[in-house]
Each structure stands twice: as C-alpha cells, then as structure tokens.
Structure 1
Amino acid sequence: MIRYLSYQDSTKNGIPVAKEQEQYPLSSSQYRIWILSQFEEGSIAYNMSGLNTIEGDFDENIFQETFQEILERHEILRASIKTNNDGEVYQSIKSSSDFIPSLTYKDYRDKSTAEIQEIVKASFVAPFDFENDDLIRISVFRTEDNKRLLIISIHHIICDGWSMGILVREFMTIYQSKINRSSYALPKLAIQYKDYAVWQQNDLNSVGQNKQEKYWLSLFDGEIPVLDFPTNRNRPLVKTYNGKRIRRSFNEQVYKKFNSLCLQHEGTVFIGLLTVLNTLLYRYTKQTDIIVGTPVAGRDSVDLENQIGCYINTLALRNVFQESVSFQELFGQIKQSTLASFENQTYPFDSLVKKLNLKHDTSRSVLFDVMLVLQNTNKENSSAENSGNKDQGDFKIEEKVLSKFDMTFNFEEIDSALDVAVEYNTDIFDEAAIDRVLDHFESIMNVVSQSPENPISQIDYLSISEKEHLVSMFDNSNVSYPSDVTIIDIFEEQALKYPDNIAVVFGNDRLTYKELNEASNQLGSYLREQYQTAADDLICINMRPGIRMVISILGILKSGAGYVPINADFP
C-alpha cells in the first residue's frame, strides 16, 4: 500500500538538476536525522548495516573497481555533513577523484567464529563523524579459504531501507559481471540526491505544499495527546535508545480470516493492522485520541526509483474516536483518515514539527511513541534486501538493537503469512510485557475477524490463564486472618504502619490511612456519646457508594454497633 500510494502523486515534470555549488541544503529528513544524531544516545541509533557472503575466488582489484563505480554512480555516498560559519548545516559532495573510499580488508581465518562475530558487531555500532568521516564504510573479512564476509556500514542520513537494497544489488551485479567478464546495464540516473534536496526545499513554498501543510496543521489543531501506555519502569528523563527485538509468526488461520475481513470492508491489511493497534492502545490506556507513526518511501517521482539517499518520510496518523464505536466502524474511520494522510504524504515531517512548535519533552519522541511498519515481500525477496541480512548460513550476528521509539511494530507479509518483529525500549519495558502485548494483538485480530460489529470497549482479548490470574489475585477468600482480633484492629494496625499510604479512592477523592482512621474515630466517638451505642445495636447506612460510606462503616464498627447497608435507590 505504501509503495502504491507513493506513486499516486508522482512529479510529472521530473526533478531539475541543481546548479553546481559547494554547499547544498539538507533534505528535511536529513535535517531531522542530523538533529537527533547530535545527542549522545542518538549518535549510533541511525547507523545502518548489511552483511553478505562472497564465496569462491575473490579479486581485490575488481572489488575496488566495483566500489569506485558505485561511488561515481551515486554522489550521495561521497557526501559529508558540515556546518558553515553562520551555523547553517549543509552537505558537501567530494568529486570521485578526490574521494578516498573507506575500504578495509582483513584475513580472519585464524580467528574463531565468536571472535569474528564480535568484530562485526563492533563495526555496526561504530559512530560516524559527519564532518570528517566517510558516511559509508565497507569491510571484507576473509573467514575461510574461499569465503568472505562483506560488511556495509552506512549512516541513515545518506541512505534508507530501499537504498540499502539498491546498494547491495548493484554492488553484487557489477562485481559478478566483472568477475565473469560479462556485460551489465544499470538504470540511468537522471538526477542525484543533492538535486532532490534543493528541489524539495524550494518546493516547500509551492501551492501544493501549502495545501498539504494546511491539512496537517488542521489535523493537529488543539491539544496534542501523549500516549500514557503502562510501562514496567519509570521513563528516563532523557530519551534512551536501548532496545531489544521480539519476533513472532501469527497463526495462519487467524491471519487468513483477518485478511478476508479487511477485503470485505474494502481496505488493506495495513488499515486493518492500524485499526487493531489503535484498539489495543485504547484498551491499555482508555485514550480515544491516538497518534501512530508510519514511514513512507518518499519516492514520489519516477526519477527516484533507483536512487540511493534518505528519501523516507514519516506520517503521524492521528485518529479520534468514541469508546462505543465498533471495530468495523473504527476500520472505516481509520481507512478514510489514513487515505487522506497518504494523499498529503510529501509534506515533510520535520516541517510539521517545526510549525506545531511543540513543547520539548526530552524523555519522549516527538509527536508519537509507537510506530507501525508493513512490508510486502515473498520468500525469495525477503526483508534482508531492504535492511541487510545479518544471518549468513551458520554465521549469525546478534546485533545491538537500538529502539528509536517506545515500540515499533514491524509487520511483514511473506506470501500468505504474517510475521512481526517488535522493537522496544528496554529501559521502560520488560520482555514479558511485550510478549503480552503481542498475545493481545493477535487475540484482538482473532476476535474482530469473527465479530467485527462488537464495540471495541467490549472486545475480550485476555487469555484464559490471564483471567484465572486476575480472579486469583482479587479473590482473597483463602487468606487467613488472626482469630483473636477484629477487622478494626487489623485496619488500625495498617494505619499505624502506613499512615501516608492511600487507603481509599473514589473518583477524584482519596484518603490516606491516617485520614480515614481519624475520620472514622470521630464518627465512632460521636455515636457513642450521643446515642450510647453498644454491642448488638444496628445502624442503617442509606447512602450512595463513596468515601463517606467507608467512613460510616468503620465509624459504626468503632462505636461498637453493627451496620445495615440499605440500597439508596429503594423507595
């Protein structure tokens, strides 16, 4: 869906070639990544990496020729990001003759697999110096006589997932063709990334972009919601990127029914997953104004299809709904709002953030904390092409996971199956909590596929074991209490131990143990003095539930009498 919609607003007249100059502007996506990379935690969060195997004979000269040809073909790989005397950030492109590529060859046949794995992992997270370093590093590690690992490390500011696939594919095409002495032809590039960046910045003031700007500012008019998703630990004051990833394959029958539901309601799987995610977030938070981020390719011109560069844009998909809405009604609502957002997808996310002038919260991502991604692939063309495969036969890399958001749901349709990999921030979530989130996600998919007409507030997504746990947690009938003390004695003991703890809550009202004890003591004393209450006396309580009722029960018991509750609605 993302790729399809990306072409609906194609630039008919093409992107013009920019005038040659020493300083070129950053694109909006580049500028946002540059800002985030200035923070210590974000310095390596936007590293991208790829791992591939080269088997058979290896020709170092041909390999260097191949890399040089790639560098000449894609200028952005020769870029550096600098700051001028006025404090303006720009990109500078070195000529291919002046650019000395960062190529490393190592013979690691004497090292163990574990040692090589650690070296590869370290190369993935080595930081880039924007002003002084190449923003792409290529290493070749010889691990066996006829086997080598090709490691590509590149910064997101000059590349995206689509670009990584292009880079690996073109590199291997050129290298193998040269080795086999066969001809090859790559698509002609009409422009370079710097031309796109200049065009994009000039286009921000166009009629079309002004129209899109009005759409987004209207969507985010008023108070911006902050998702209050329950966490296992307090959120750090400054956002961190420490992460972990959980992978899961959904039940094929559940996914098949869910896919049919989406088709019945004339929507895509993406719309369905987004609706389930909104439902899940609502059930966890009781919030009905929710923002979820999603990436778009940003290649809305045919000139960009075979380009390497950071073209990706982010859409903040906001949906406001009623608690009483059914899943199928919410599906229709989200379908309409999502299509409207995709129709305005070329407006840069960074420009929206600037226009909204949001209050800076260092503990969170801007505008949203949850991201949803859907890739449509097949088994022969898996997501490894987009992100660089980290597993090569028996050689597996357990890469360091950096979580840019609280949670990122990476869904992948592989033929007729649906897989998901959830990246989450380990400073606020435990693995067990994310496991439950996935359990609940799949449960909601299953339930709505059978009864989409039910209100989302009534969807039963808890497992049998979770229900049994809740019942046992709140069923204290098996708890033993001392037989020689009264309920008043037990209460006053708690009040003495924890005087400042909250004892009772009703709506916005609350009392500590100390306050509740003092209030009930006053009522008990009053009843004894005014009515000489004694054992076997019964006092009726005719009032609606609230804090006053709790005070009354304890006060009557402290006076020595018993209480008789009466339904306040009875005549």
Structure 2
Amino acid sequence: MPAAQDDAQGAMDAPPAETEDVLVFPASFTQSRLWFMDRLAPGGAVYNVPLVIGLSGPLDAALLADCLTALARRHEVLRTTFAEGEDGPLQIVRPAPAVRLEVRDVTADEAERAAADEAARPFDLTTGPLLRALLLRTGPAEHLLVVTFHHTVCDGWSLGVFCRELGTLYQAHVLGLASPLPDLAIQYADYAVWQRERLESASLDGHLAHWRERLADAPALLTLPTDRPRPAVATHRGAEVPLTVSETAASKLRDLARAGRCTPFMLLLAAWQVTLARWSGQSDVCVGSPVAGRDRPELEPLIGYFANTVVLRARPAADMTFRGLLDRTRRTVLADLAHQDVPFERLVEELRPDRDLGHHPLFQAAFVLQNAEPARLHLPGLRCTVGEPAARTAKFDLTLALEDTGDGGFTGVLEYATDLFDAGTAASLAESFLLLLEHAVTEPDTALSDLRLVAEDHRADPVAPHPRARTGAPAGPAGPATLTGLFERQAARTPDATAVVAGTDRLSYAELDRRANRLARRLLRSGAGPDRLVALALPRSTELIVAILGVLKAGAAYLPVDPTAPAERVRHIMTDAAPSCVLTTAETAARLFPDGTTTVLLTDPAAPAPGDHTVTDRAAPATTTGAPPPGDHALTDAERGAAQHPDHLAYVIYTSGSTGRPKGVAVAHRQVVRLLTAAAEDFGFGADDTWSLFHSCAFDFSVWEIWGPLAHGGTLAVVPARVTRSPREL
C-alpha cells in the first residue's frame, strides 16, 4: 500500500457519527459526479446497473425477499439516498427497511421485455431506494429475478459480492442456520470520508503532475465519422452489437502478449486505439478504461461504487509496426496505472477541459476487459443463470467491452450511442476491429498502415479517414454474405432435408425455397424492393418463415409486427416505418390495418395450396391482382432491380418504447452473417441441429433462432404460442 494511503489508515477505521435514525456522510468523488449529472438531466437510466437472473426450480420468494433485506441491512450503501449539502452532495444512510420484492406473473414471451423495461426504469436519488428487485414468474418453477442498482451504490465488482452473499444467506436460511457471513470491518461511507480527507491533502500532487504532462494538448474530441450530427445535449440512448474474437486469433494474441511481456488488456487496447485512429483520421487518440479501485483488502467484500476511470492515450505513427506500438503501449499503460488513484472527477477539475453537454470530457471511446470471475449465484435446489439485458443506453460514444471467457477466448459487445451511429455503422466498426486484430497478431511486424481494416485487402494510411464505402462480402467459410445467399446454398446442397416444422406442417429446403420465390415475385409487384420495408403481421407457422424468406428474396427488409400487440403500437410502427406493404391474414388485416395500406393476404396456412397470395389495397378493396401465378424458380437481379448486397437492410425491429416512443433498429445482412460466422466456429452448427423458434419474430432474439438452422442446413421447429406459455408442453 502506498505511503499516502498508510497515513489515512486511522480515518478509514474510525466509527461513523450517528444522528438519531440516520447517518450523514459526504459523497465520494464518483458519487458526486453522478449526483451532478442526475441533477443536470434527471430521469435517465444511463447509470442503472441491472442484473437478470434466471431461476429454474422450487423458489421460496418470501425467503428470497428476506435475504435481500438482510443484504440491505449488512451494506449501508444499499439503503443510501442523496441530498445537497453546503459543500456538495451528502450520503443519507437510513435504517434498514424491508426490501420490496415485487412478484409479477408474465408469459415467457413477455418476460424478457418486462426485464428490459424494469432495468431501464429511472431512479430518484433523493428518495430512493437505489436497489430494486422484481421477480417475474413465467411458470410454477420458472422465474426471472431482475435486480437493478443505481451506479452510485454499485459497480461491476459489487455484482459478484451481491450474488455470493445472496446465495450464502439463502442457503443458510434453508438449512436453518444463522448467517455465516463475517461482520464487515468498514462501510462504503467510511471509505468516502477517508477518500475525501486523503485527496484534500498534498499526497496527490505527484499523481496530478503525471496526468498534467501525460494529457497535455490531448485532443478534446474523437472525430469519428457519424451517421448524424452530434446533438447539443447527449441523450445517452444506446444499443450494442455482439462480437467474438476467434479462438485462433485469441491464441495468437496470448502468444504475442507473452513474447512482448505485456497483458492481453494492453494488446487489445492497442488494437482498439489503432482502429479508432484509422476510422477517425486522428493520430492522437484517448480512450477511457475502468480500474477496480479496491487496493485495500477491507474494500473487497463491500458493495459500492469504487471503480475509477483512467485515460489512456496513444499516438500511432505511420511507420510504426504493431509490435512497436505494443511495446510503447506496455510502457505507457504501466506508467498510467501507477497513478490510477486520482479520481476521474478530480482529474477533470485539474485539467479543466472545455465542457460540452454533447460529449464526455477527455475521452469519448472506452475499453473494458472483464477478466475477473463473473457474477455467479448458487441457490440450493435451483439452476441459476446470471446475465444482463441488452443495452438501451450508452455512457460514451463507443464502448468496446470484452470478457475473458476462461477457455482461452474473448467475447463481448460494442456499445454505441444511437444519437450518432446506426446499427450498420457500429457493426462495421466492430468488424474492422476484429479484422485488424487478427492481422496484427498474425503478422505483428506489419506497419500500422498495412493492417487490414476492411474485409477486402484495402490499404489505408493509419491516420487517414476510414473508407465508409461498401466493400463487399467478408471472406471466409460463410461464403455468401447475405442471408438469402446462405439459405439458397443450403437448399442447393440438401434440397430434401427438412427446413421447417410447425405442428404437422413440414417443409423441405426445396419446398421452402420455391414458395419463398413465388411470394417474392408477388411482393415485387406490390412495391417491395431493395432497402424497402415489408411489414409482417402473421401467426407462428411455416408461412411466417416463407414470408420472412420471401421478403428477403425480393431484396426488401422485413418489419415484424406482433398481431397481438396493442393497436396504438401497431399504428405507430406503421406510421413511423412506412412499409411498402404488409403481409398478413384477412382477419388481422381487418382488425389492425387502416384503409390505404397495401395488404398482401396469405391464404390459410392449412389450405391445400399454401404459398399463394392475394394483393389488395385497403383503399380500394375490390381491386385484386389479375397477373398469372408467379414462377417458383430463383429470382434474378433484373427482377429485383438491383443486385443483393450485404449492406442492404435485412430487418427493422422496434423497441418496446419503455423510455418513450418505440424506435426501429435497422440491421443489414452483413451484421447477421457476421454473428453467425463468428458463432459457428465455437458451436459447430450443422445439418443435424434442430432449433426452436421460441420468441416472437418481433423480438430480436428470433433472428438467431431462425437463421441459426437455415444458414447451416438444420431444422427450425416453430413453437406454438400457447406452448411457449406452458413449460410442461414445451
């Protein structure tokens, strides 16, 4: 422990002052920053820390609630709120109330959306509580526990502490034992007092001098090419795209890191900084990265916000090799981490960068490598799976968050601000990072100017702007880089194999291909085409899969609309997306879609000749197509009016709208193909696999369920809606 910390040992161990029923302490530096940001823009969810835990087996909900209350009693920070004091925000620690565990019955289809909505619900820092718990019951022995903290009282490390202690308390209660958890030596508020006293002394002068020199004349803004101008005030709305470092690249990465006496973190950081430099056209890039901030043993068992952020600067030179950059990165990261005790908030005060509500100070892109053991929960008699909902917010313009999987690989997400970037742009950036990383670890003596950034063998100066032009399909075992191309290749290989099953209805790859071709030609006559939207409002059946494939074969993108959704949501989606037509049934058309909507009606899936369709215009219902039946042979580019391209839209799926109006998220073929290609290497997908279509096609997880089998020759089993609500039938 540094001497500066030894000097403050007594302050951390001092007992807190008590005032009647509440304890009052100064907020820590990190809490103060979040308090200020909340006062500036109240009602946001960007600093929510959600945990979603699947629980299968007999659960005692009352006992679970008691254990949550015991944790709040044990950790004062979980019963803390905030108030403005004369010298800044204060922590108000109140007596331990019972933690309210709301129990709600939902269907399996509703559970994931309900969990995401709960995770995105804002907190009031002045009234609290800053810990919420919701138990979603999807069956007699199936639950989803959603625990949401505000970041002022929790960080990533804390989630592991929370899960371990919750499991320990639950098991002790089941066995009729007292809590085996040892008493905590200190509480988070003691740390906050110690931190304030230490940082008000002269002990930080040397650390601050390092950062003044290190960040002198650093660029104020990372000027990446964006899809929209930066707003005056950031909304922090966000989304994420998944990415996986291949096993081959990960193995080479570790070998190169060992040879260079550096860590995987340093190597991945260097690759990320070069990627950002190439995209932005800047030769000077600053990236933020979190550190745990728990360098004393008595801090390790605490729940609270201890994490700090350090600013890591890189200046990739045009003639530098990646090995040379890696050596420089190792030296600068070691030097910077030696001065990590300066709170980021204190650093901003010292450096006084120009403040702008449209972007984060000092850096706008972040890098996270989670190499600590992930949060795990063990409850007796239950199978527990711990995860997080997909991001709806973004703290920064971009955050590359990777996790060491423990078996040699790395997987993660690229979180991006939707104020600035479309999904396709974010996916292209993630792809650039993976390509550059793979080239760098394979040929580390390559100049940065020669590292591959795009799928084609494009050469660009390391400080030149990234070419945003389309660059063709990614090379590799996936072959065609469109979903229709992947499917048609499988249909040609195994035409008689079963592609889709729904009850007694069964389609081979050849039958599915022919019916989708017929439908595609009908849709083209109704105005469908490349990058145009076709709405789908269909029940679960083989016809739904025919429809999705037919839309894509026409070059269009599908817009799934849940036929059971409220009419107001359907109206908003149809008005906002303005699809060229809607593919539905007669009953749904009459119930949901207004006059003026061009409607392609599917015949009853049980009818003898499925795949035939009638096109009507609701404004003139007597008008029907008199064209001859369309052919079922493969479509040509001439029919579509353009060649199919990986960057053409594949689908648009609307969010739940829990934080406002539902918004459409557009995804191109390239992104889905990239996901399938990356995952296939790890999972070994093949023709013997059977996948279930469990989720609604209006939920994005269905994309994985549908194309996992159809891209690899497997069988897709469509699960009836009623079965998804019955674990026994499923």
Q: TM-score normalised by the shorter chain: which range applies?
A: 0.7 to 0.9
Q: Is the 8 A contact 1:11 1:300 kept in 2?
A: no
Deviations 1:526-547 (A, max 9, x none): xxxxxxxxxxxxxxxxxxxxxx
The 3 A distance-change label for structure 1 pair 396 and 49 is closer
SS in 1 for 2:446: coil
Q: Is the 8 A contact 1:36 1:42 kept in 2?
A: no
1:38 Cα deviation from its structure 2 partner: 2.6
Out of 391, 396, 403, the residue aligned to residue 405 of structure 1 is: 396
Out of 244, 254, 262, the residue aligned to residue 257 of structure 2 is: 262
Task: Give the Cα–Cα distance (whole angstroms) in 1 for the partners of residues 393 and 228 of structure 2.
Answer: 18
Q: Which amino acid aligns with 2:398?
A: M
Out of 100, 112, 130, the residue aligned to residue 103 of structure 1 is: 100
Aligned to 2:93: 93
Aligned to 1:292: 287
Q: Which amino acid aligns with 1:257?
A: K
Out of 136, 139, 149, the residue aligned to residue 141 of structure 1 is: 136
Task: Give the Cα–Cα distance (whole angstroms) in 2 for the partners of residues 367 and 54 of structure 1.
Answer: 42
* Structure 1 position 237 matched with structure 2 position 232: yes
Aligned to 2:63: 62
**Alignment map for 1:122-271 (pairs within 5 Å):** 122-182=117-177, 185-222=180-217, 224-271=219-266
The 3 A distance-change label for structure 1 pair 337 and 258 is same
1:212 Cα deviation from its structure 2 partner: 0.9
* Structure 1 position 461 matched with structure 2 position 453: yes
The 3 A distance-change label for structure 1 pair 464 and 315 is same
Aligned to 1:496: none
The 3 A distance-change label for structure 1 pair 56 and 345 is same
The 3 A distance-change label for structure 1 pair 383 and 243 is farther
Out of 106, 116, 124, the residue aligned to residue 121 of structure 1 is: 116
Q: Which amino acid aligns with 1:454?
A: T
1:150 Cα deviation from its structure 2 partner: 2.3
SS in 2 for 1:335: helix
Task: Give the Cα–Cα distance (whole angstroms) in 2 for the partners of residues 312 and 88 of structure 1.
Answer: 20
1:213 Cα deviation from its structure 2 partner: 1.4
Q: Which amino acid aligns with 1:103?
A: R
Q: Is the 8 A contact 2:318 2:448 kept in 1?
A: yes
Deviations 1:180-234 (A, max 9, x none): 2246522431100000000001001334322111111221223544211111221
Deviations 1:38-69 (A, max 9, x none): 34377211111112244444445533432232
Task: Give the Cα–Cα distance (whole angstroms) in 1 for the partners of residues 306 and 417 of structure 2.
Answer: 26
Task: Give the Cα–Cα distance (whole angstroms) in 2 for the partners of residues 80 and 363 of structure 1.
Answer: 28
**Alignment map for 1:47-86 (pairs within 5 Å):** 47-84=48-85, 86=86
Q: Is the 8 A contact 1:204 1:210 kept in 2?
A: no
1:286 Cα deviation from its structure 2 partner: 2.9
Q: Which amino acid aligns with 2:88?
A: E
The 3 A distance-change label for structure 1 pair 220 and 142 is same
1:166 Cα deviation from its structure 2 partner: 0.9
Task: Give the Cα–Cα distance (whole angstroms) in 2 for the partners of residues 355 and 396 of structure 1.
Answer: 38
Structure-2-length-normalised TM-score: 0.58
SS in 1 for 2:306: coil
SS in 1 for 2:310: strand
Q: Which amino acid aligns with 1:315?
A: V
Task: Return 190-199 or 29-38, whichever deviates more.
Answer: 29-38
* Structure 1 position 447 matched with structure 2 position 439: yes
Aligned to 2:359: 364
Aligned to 1:344: 339
Deviations 1:231-260 (A, max 9, x none): 122111211211111112222112211221
Task: Give the Cα–Cα distance (whole angstroms) in 1 for the partners of residues 26 and 164 of structure 2.
Answer: 28
1:428 Cα deviation from its structure 2 partner: 1.2
1:147 Cα deviation from its structure 2 partner: 3.3
Q: Is the 8 A contact 2:66 2:98 kept in 1?
A: no
The 3 A distance-change label for structure 1 pair 144 and 433 is same
Q: Which amino acid aligns with 2:53?
A: N
**Greater Cα radius of gyration, structure 1 or 2:** 1
The 3 A distance-change label for structure 1 pair 24 and 268 is same
Q: Is the 8 A contact 2:80 2:93 kept in 1?
A: yes
Structure 2: any 5+ residue segments left out of the alignment?
A: 378-382, 460-466, 472-730
Structure-1-length-normalised TM-score: 0.73
Q: Is the 8 A contact 1:374 1:410 kept in 2?
A: yes
1:471 Cα deviation from its structure 2 partner: 13
Task: Give the Cα–Cα distance (whole angstroms) in 2 for the partners of residues 472 and 365 of structure 1.
Answer: 28
Q: Is the 8 A contact 1:117 1:397 kept in 2?
A: no
Aligned to 2:429: 437
Task: Give the Cα–Cα distance (whole angstroms) in 2 for the partners of residues 295 and 251 of structure 1.
Answer: 25
**Alignment map for 1:321-340 (pairs within 5 Å):** 321-340=316-335
Report how many residues are paired: 451
The 3 A distance-change label for structure 1 pair 320 and 249 is closer
Structure 1: any 5+ residue segments left out of the alignment?
A: 1-6, 386-390, 475-571
Deviations 1:339-364 (A, max 9, x none): 11111111100000011112111211
Aligned to 2:590: none
Task: Give the Cα–Cα distance (whole angstroms) in 2 for the partners of residues 284 and 471 of structure 1.
Answer: 9
The 3 A distance-change label for structure 1 pair 460 and 400 is closer
Q: Is the 8 A contact 1:289 1:321 kept in 2?
A: yes
1:460 Cα deviation from its structure 2 partner: 3.4
1:299 Cα deviation from its structure 2 partner: 0.4
Aligned to 2:36: 35
Q: Which amino acid aligns with 1:37?
A: D
Task: Give the Cα–Cα distance (whole angstroms) in 2 for the partners of residues 300 and 348 of structure 1.
Answer: 14
Q: Which amino acid aligns with 1:195?
A: D
Deviations 1:310-367 (A, max 9, x none): 0010001122343222211111111111111111111100000011112111211111
Q: Which amino acid aligns with 2:79?
A: R
Deviations 1:5-47 (A, max 9, x none): xx88995547323541543111111111112223437721111
* Structure 1 position 278 matched with structure 2 position 273: yes
Task: Give the Cα–Cα distance (whole angstroms) in 1 for the partners of residues 316 and 456 of structure 2.
Answer: 29
Q: Which amino acid aligns with 2:451?
A: I
Deviations 1:509-556 (A, max 9, x none): xxxxxxxxxxxxxxxxxxxxxxxxxxxxxxxxxxxxxxxxxxxxxxxx
SS in 2 for 1:288: coil
Q: Relative contact order (alpha carbons < 8 A, sep ≥ 6): 1 or 2 greater?
A: 1
Task: Return 153-162 or 425-434, whichever deviates more.
Answer: 425-434
The 3 A distance-change label for structure 1 pair 227 and 450 is same
1:129 Cα deviation from its structure 2 partner: 1.1
Q: Which amino acid aligns with 1:236?
A: P
Task: Give the Cα–Cα distance (whole angstroms) in 2 for the partners of residues 180 and 154 of structure 1.
Answer: 29
Q: Which amino acid aligns with 1:303?
A: E
Q: Is the 8 A contact 2:104 2:136 kept in 1?
A: yes
Q: Percent identity, please.
A: 27
The 3 A distance-change label for structure 1 pair 107 and 410 is closer
1:465 Cα deviation from its structure 2 partner: 8.0
Aligned to 2:589: none
The 3 A distance-change label for structure 1 pair 54 and 411 is closer
Q: Is the 8 A contact 1:11 1:301 kept in 2?
A: no
Task: Give the Cα–Cα distance (whole angstroms) in 2 for the partners of residues 213 and 457 of structure 1.
Answer: 34
Task: Give the Cα–Cα distance (whole angstroms) in 1 for the partners of residues 3 and 438 of structure 2.
Answer: 35
SS in 2 for 1:190: coil
SS in 1 for 2:167: helix
Deviations 1:132-154 (A, max 9, x none): 12111122333322333322111
Q: Which amino acid aligns with 1:461?
A: L
SS in 2 for 1:148: strand
SS in 2 for 1:38: helix
SS in 2 for 1:23: strand
Q: Which amino acid aligns with 1:324?
A: D
Task: Give the Cα–Cα distance (whole angstroms) in 1 for the partners of residues 109 and 269 of structure 2.
Answer: 40
The 3 A distance-change label for structure 1 pair 61 and 453 is closer
